[in-house]
Structure 1
Amino acid sequence: MNDLVPKSIENLPAVTAGTDDLLVQITSALGVPRDVLPAKVQIDHTWDNLPRLLSKIPSELRDERMIRLCVAVSVGLFDSAINYVWNSTIVELRQKVIRFGLPIVAQLTSKTLDESKLLEMMDHDLLKLCLELNLITEEGYFKH
């Protein structure tokens, strides 16, 4: 593995070995074709790349959502994995706005904003606010 991948992430267990049998059993029990889920080779490929991707996430942001992401990837639920990443991103953006300073945000935007309003804010509006505050780039990259 890459020297840039922390040992704890590099050593993710090889959980995908029995995954296909499990998925075949579940889909058969429900009378659904196995091919409604990603193929074993796709799951294995994604699982093998996961440590490199996880290493790009600061350790303090690797929480229960990242565990759920790993479990979702291990069985090919890639859409669920994306949802966990998105939810983590939104949580972190809200924290960035709070660290920026809600009173400062209110002054810059001429809108009153407290934590409850921030929590109720739709994702789209939060993204627009973060872009306006220069906390993210047009491409969606976080700024430090």
Structure 2
Amino acid sequence: MSKAIRIHANGGPEVLAYEDADPGQPGEGQILIRHTAIGLNFIDVYYRSGLYPPPGGLPLVPGSEAAGVVLALGTGVDWLKPGDRIAYAINVGAYSEQRVIAADRVVKVPDGISDEQAAAMMLKGMTAEYLLRRTFPVKAGDTILYHA
């Protein structure tokens, strides 16, 4: 049986419960992964504390980014194989040993990048790319203030 950290009520760290969690089997276009590292983000604390309502409500398995290893493939997934190292940033569920997720939401992790680096860079990296390339395309000579 796999384990996950689940929140049943808002509060401090004491509401984090380490529980059994069956990830199930991957369906069409999905993969089963075993997490090797997860990213920790302020949004996880906001969901836990109740500052922001979590998507789907409670109970909730927090965590928005992680790295791991592919364990099994659902039908239609032909670009990954068991044993591939992957990383992702999607909506909640990373505080788990294993999970099923959509294969099109992961990226392969290249050699030379540790699982810890891959897990920590996904959400923050996508946020930086979005802000600096899409929201306001920064160019030579621009001055920006980056914080948090």
Q: Scaled by the length of structure 2, what TM-score is found?
A: 0.29
Q: Which has the higher helix share?
A: 1
Which structure is larger by alpha-carbon Rg, 1 or 2? 1
The structure in which a higher percent of residues are strand is: 2
Using CA pairs under 8 Å that are at least 6 residues apart, name the structure with larger relative contact order, 1 or 2: 2
